[in-house]
Structure 1
Amino acid sequence: MSWLRRRMSSLTARLALAYGLTTVLILIGVAAYLSSALESQLEGHADSELVSEVLRVRHLLREVEGENEIRADTHRFADIAMGHEGLILVVRTRDGEPLITLNPRNETLPTLRVHAANITPDRGMLESWRPRGGAPSRALAALGEVGTTGRTVEILVLSDAGSRFALMREYRGQLLGATLCGAIAAAALGFLLARRGLLPLRRMADDAAAVTTSRLATRLDVGNAPEELRELAGALNDMLARLQDSFTRLSTFSADLAHDFRTPISNLVGQTQVTLAQRRNPAEYEALLESNLEEFERLSRMIENMLFLARADHAQVALDQKPLDARAELDKVAEYFDAVAAERDLTLTITGTATVTADQTLLRRAVTNLLDNALRHAPAGSTVRLAVLRARPGHTGIRIANAGPAIATEALPQLFGRFFRADPSRRNSATSTGLGLAIVDSIMRLHGGSVTVRSQEGLTEFELLFPDGMAFPKSAP
C-alpha cells in the first residue's frame, strides 16, 4: 500500500491514470452504443425473418391441392426452417389439428391473435412470448389459403431469441475484454507520453536541486522550457535572484557584525589584560573601567539597533501613529543637538511647517539618526538645515541637508545597508555603529513611506517622505 501511495503521488502516474480512466469511459460509451446498435439490428432482422416465413408458407400452401398433400410433403415446409436457429413452425387446421409441426424443444405455444389470409403481415403484428426458461421472443400467427379449395389453415411462426441473446452476451464479453485491454494500453501509453512530456519539469527540478549556497548564481533555462513552464521558471529565477541578494547581504552583514563586535571586544580584552598584568593604583583601575564602559555602551547600542532592525524586518514593531506637528518635533530634536552643534561650530536652522502622521518615538529616532549623521560630516562653520515641506500631494517631507564632500555615486544605493559606511576612514569609529541609516530605512518602511538621498559636491540631502492619513498600526503577532 505504501508503494501504491508513493506511485500515486507522482504527477506522471496521476496523468496516466486520468488518461486511462478517460479512455475507459470513452470505450465503454462506444461499446454500449455498438452493442445496442447490433442488438437492435439483430432484433429487426429476426422480426423481418418471421414475417418472411409467414409469406413463404402462404406461397407454398397455394401450390398444394389439399391438406392431405401437406401431410404427405412436410419436407417442403421443413426446408423453410433450415438455417434459422430457434425457429418454430406450426401449420394446423382451423379445428387445431396439426398438419406440420417443427418444434424441436416441444415448447408450449402461446395463444396468439390470428390475422386474416388477405392481410399482408408486417413487423407491427408481431407479439411477444417467452420460451421455457428462455429470453423474451417474438411470434406471428396468420391464416393461409390451401390451393384453390377455399379452405384456410393457421400458420404459427415463432422465434426463440435465446441464441441471439447468447450471441450478444459473447459479443459484450469480447467488447469488455477489448475495452479493458484498450484502457491498459492507453494508460501505459499515457504514462510514457506524460513521462516524456514532463521531462522538462524533471530537468528543471534537477537544475534547481543543483543550486547551493556556493552556486546561487545558477538560473533555470527559461528559453528552452515549454510555454506552460516558462512562467514557473521565470518565477523560480526571480526567487533565486532574491535569495542570492539576501544571502549576499546576510553574508556581508555577518562579516560586518563580526568585525564591529571584534573591535570593542578586542579593546576590552586588551586593555583589561594590560591592566591586570601588574598591580595598578586605583586611578588606573578607574580609567580602565571608564574605558570599558564606553565600549560596553557601544556594544549595547549595536545590540539594541540590531534587535530593532530584526523586529522591524518581521513587522513586530508596534506603531502608535497619530497627527504630529512636524515643526515642533524637529525643534525638540534640534534642541537636544544644540550643544553638539555649538561644540563643532555648526549652526542649525529649521524652516517650514506641516502635520505629519507618524509614530512620535520612531519619527524622532529617524530624524535623530539623520541629524547626528549630518553633524558628524558637516565642516566646521557650516549650517545644517532642517526643513518641513509638502514634497508631493498626499505626502509630508522632512529634509535634512548638510554641506561637505559629496558621497560617491556608487555608494548611494548601499548607503542604507547595515554596517555600510561611505567613509572608509571612519569604519572603526567608536561613535558610529553603521546601523543608523538602516534603522531610518526600516522606520520609513514601517510607516509606508520612504527615505531618499541626494549628494553632489558641497551638499548632501536626506529626505523622509511620510504618507498622509492614519495607517493601520503594525503590531506584533
Structure 2
Amino acid sequence: MNETKKMRSIARNINRSWVAGLFAAFLLFDILAAGLTIGGWCYFQETKTGAEFSLKTPRHFETIDADQIPEEHQGYAQRSKRWILIPFQDTMIRAQYVYEDSSGKKQTVYAGKFLIFSWRCLALIILIQLLSLLSDMLTGSRKARRQLAPLYEMTQKAKELTDAAAFDESKFHDLEDAISQISPTGPDARLQTGDTELEGLEQAVNSLLDRMRQSYQQQARFVSDASHELRTPIAVIQGYANMLDRWGKEDEKILAESIDAIKSESDHMKKLVEQLLFLARGDSGRTKLTMEEFSLRETIKEVFDESVMIDSDHYYHLKESEDLKITGDAAMVKQAARILVDNAAKYTPAGADIVLQVKKNEKNHPCFVVQDEGIGIAAGDVSHVFERFFRADPARGRDSGGTGLGLSIAKWIVDRHGGYFQVLSREEIGTRITVCFPQNPH
C-alpha cells in the first residue's frame, strides 16, 4: 500500500510540473502573439501610405472621449457595448494610435476597433488554454500513473528477483581462486569453475585470454623478427670492420668494398629503425593525423611525378580520372601511395609498366590503384602481405632493399582513415592493389 501511495505522489508531482510548464508556455505564447499583432498593425498603419517605418519614430496609444470617435466607427462602438463585455473594453473602444510621419507631423489613427477585435481573439485563446490546463490538472495524474505502471511493475519484479536470489559467497571465492591460477601466456590457459551459473562469465574471461594470448604472440613475433632484421646489418658491419682491422687498411679494393658495404647496411638499418619507430608510435597512439579535405587525384599525381623523376627503369602511366576529394591526412595518404609504388618498382622487371589511377569502385567509394607487371604474389600469401616482416618468397628479401615493414605501414595509414585494400595478383603476371576510402566523394 505504501508503494501505491508513493507512485501516486510521484504521478502528482510529475503532473504539477507538466501543468506549470504548460502554463509558462501558454503565457509566453500569449505575450508574443499580442506583441507581434500590435507591432504588425502599427507597422501597416505607418507604411500603408508609402512611408518608411523607423523604430526611432515617436509613437504611442492614447484614449479619447467617446464623442471624438470617428463617425465611421461610431456604429461599431455602440454595437460593441451590446456584445459580451470583456475587461478594459470601455478603454480600448476609445483608443487611438499617435505617431509622427517623416516630416515630423503628428498623425492619428483610430485603434479601438482593432484592439477590441484582437483582445476578444486573445481572450478566446486564453479560454481554450485555461480549459486545457484544467483538463490536465484533473486527468494528468491518472495519465502519469498509467505511464509509470510498466516501470513500477519492472521495479517490483526486480525486487522480487533480488529477494529470491540466494547469495552464495563461496562461488565468488571459487571464481577468485580459478582466476588467480591462470597464466595469460600459457598455451592452454582457460577459466573453468564447473558452475553453470558462472558459464557466461567464464566465456567472457576466456575470450579475453584468447585476445591477450594472440596479442602477446604477435608482440613476441614482432620483437623476434625486428631483432633478426637488426642482427643481420650489425653482423655485416662488424664483419667488414674486423676485416679492415686485420688486413684491409692497406688494400684499397678491400677498403672501398668495406666502406660501400658499411654505408649500405647503415642505410638499411636506419630505414628499418625509422619504420619500427613509426609503427611503435602508431600503436601507442602518439601519431596524430591532420584530417582535412583534399584532392585524391592531385595527391596521386604528385606521387606519379616523383616516381617518373627518380625511377628511369620503368614506364609509369597515370590514367585520366575525375577529381575525387576525401577527408584525411594528405601527407599520410601520399606516404601510403608512395610505399605501394616503391613496392611495385622493386618487384617489376626493368622496362615494364606501372599504372596509377584514381577512380570509384563498385561501392561508389573513392579509390586509388597501383598496378604493376611484376613477379606477382601466390594466392595463399595474399592475405599475409600486410603482416609485419612477412615476405612471400626469397625474392622478396633484403637483396631488393626491403625491410618487410612498408606494406604494414601502408595498412596502418589506410586503417586509420577507415579505408580498405583490394588485392588482385597472379604470379609472373603482376599485382593490382586498390586502396579505397568509404566516404562520399565530392
Normalised TM-score (structure 1): 0.52
CA–CA separation in structure 1 for the residues paired with 2:189 and 2:421: 33
- Could you say which residue in structure 1 is the equivalent of 2:366? 396
- 1:260 CA drift (Å): 0.8
Equivalent pair of 1:268/1:295 in contact (CA under 8 Å): yes
- Could you say which residue in structure 1 is the equivalent of 2:183? 211
Spell out the pairing of 1:75-86 with structure 2 (5 A cutoff): none
- Could you say which residue in structure 1 is the equivalent of 2:234? 265
* SS state at 1:219 partner: coil
Spell out the pairing of 1:209-248 with structure 2 (5 A cutoff): 209-213=181-185, 215-221=186-192, 224-227=194-197, 229-248=198-217
CA–CA separation in structure 2 for the residues paired with 1:404 and 1:425: 12
Equivalent pair of 2:296/2:358 in contact (CA under 8 Å): yes
Change (3 A) 1:255 1:323: same
Give, as a single letter, the amino acid of the residue that structure 2 aligns with 1:210. Answer: I
Change (3 A) 1:285 1:459: closer
- Could you say which residue in structure 2 is the equivalent of 1:62? none
* SS state at 1:434 partner: coil
User: Which structure carries more helix by proportion?
Assistant: 2
Cα deviation code 1:115-171 (max 9, x no counterpart): xxxxxxxxxxxxxxxxxxxxxxxxxxxxxxxxxxxxxxxxxxxxxxxxxxxxxxxxx
Equivalent pair of 1:371/1:400 in contact (CA under 8 Å): yes
**Which blocks of at least 5 consecutive residues in structure 2 are unaligned?**
1-165
Give, as a single letter, the amino acid of the residue that structure 2 aligns with 1:437. Answer: L
Change (3 A) 1:225 1:406: farther
CA–CA separation in structure 2 for the residues paired with 1:198 and 1:322: 52
- Could you say which residue in structure 2 is the equivalent of 1:294? 264
* SS state at 1:448 partner: coil
Give yes or no for the alignment of 1:325 onto 2:295: yes
Which residue of the other structure, out of 462, 465, 472, is the alignment partner of 2:433? 462
Equivalent pair of 1:331/1:350 in contact (CA under 8 Å): no
Equivalent pair of 1:333/1:364 in contact (CA under 8 Å): yes
- Could you say which residue in structure 1 is the equivalent of 2:24? none
CA–CA separation in structure 2 for the residues paired with 1:425 and 1:285: 29
* SS state at 1:324 partner: strand
Equivalent pair of 2:182/2:190 in contact (CA under 8 Å): no
CA–CA separation in structure 2 for the residues paired with 1:411 and 1:377: 15
Give yes or no for the alignment of 1:439 onto 2:414: no
Spell out the pairing of 1:408-447 with structure 2 (5 A cutoff): 408-429=378-399, 431-447=401-417
Give, as a single letter, the amino acid of the residue that structure 1 aligns with 2:263. Answer: L
Give, as a single letter, the amino acid of the residue that structure 1 aligns with 2:436. Answer: L
User: Which structure carries more strand by proportion?
Assistant: 1
* SS state at 1:426 partner: coil
Normalised TM-score (structure 2): 0.56
Spell out the pairing of 1:151-170 with structure 2 (5 A cutoff): none
- Could you say which residue in structure 1 is the equivalent of 2:273? 303
Cα deviation code 1:360-394 (max 9, x no counterpart): 21111100111111111224443222121122557
* SS state at 2:190 partner: coil
- 1:241 CA drift (Å): 1.5
CA–CA separation in structure 1 for the residues paired with 2:358 and 2:417: 17
Give yes or no for the alignment of 1:352 onto 2:326: no
* SS state at 1:387 partner: strand
Q: Percent identity?
A: 27
CA–CA separation in structure 2 for the residues paired with 1:407 and 1:440: 17
- Could you say which residue in structure 1 is the equivalent of 2:169? 194
CA–CA separation in structure 2 for the residues paired with 1:426 and 1:302: 15
Indicate the structure (1 or 2) with the bigger Cα radius of gyration.
1
Equivalent pair of 1:385/1:402 in contact (CA under 8 Å): yes
CA–CA separation in structure 1 for the residues paired with 2:188 and 2:317: 48
- 1:243 CA drift (Å): 1.6
The number of residue pairs the alignment matches comes to: 273
Change (3 A) 1:225 1:392: farther
Equivalent pair of 2:366/2:440 in contact (CA under 8 Å): no
- Could you say which residue in structure 2 is the equivalent of 1:387? 357
CA–CA separation in structure 2 for the residues paired with 1:293 and 1:337: 24
Cα deviation code 1:311-340 (max 9, x no counterpart): 111221121222222222112112222255
**Which blocks of at least 5 consecutive residues in structure 1 are unaligned?**
1-189, 471-477
Equivalent pair of 2:179/2:191 in contact (CA under 8 Å): no
Equivalent pair of 2:230/2:269 in contact (CA under 8 Å): yes
CA–CA separation in structure 2 for the residues paired with 1:327 and 1:445: 20
Greater RCO (CA < 8 Å, at least 6 residues apart): 1
Equivalent pair of 2:375/2:430 in contact (CA under 8 Å): yes
- Could you say which residue in structure 2 is the equivalent of 1:364? 334
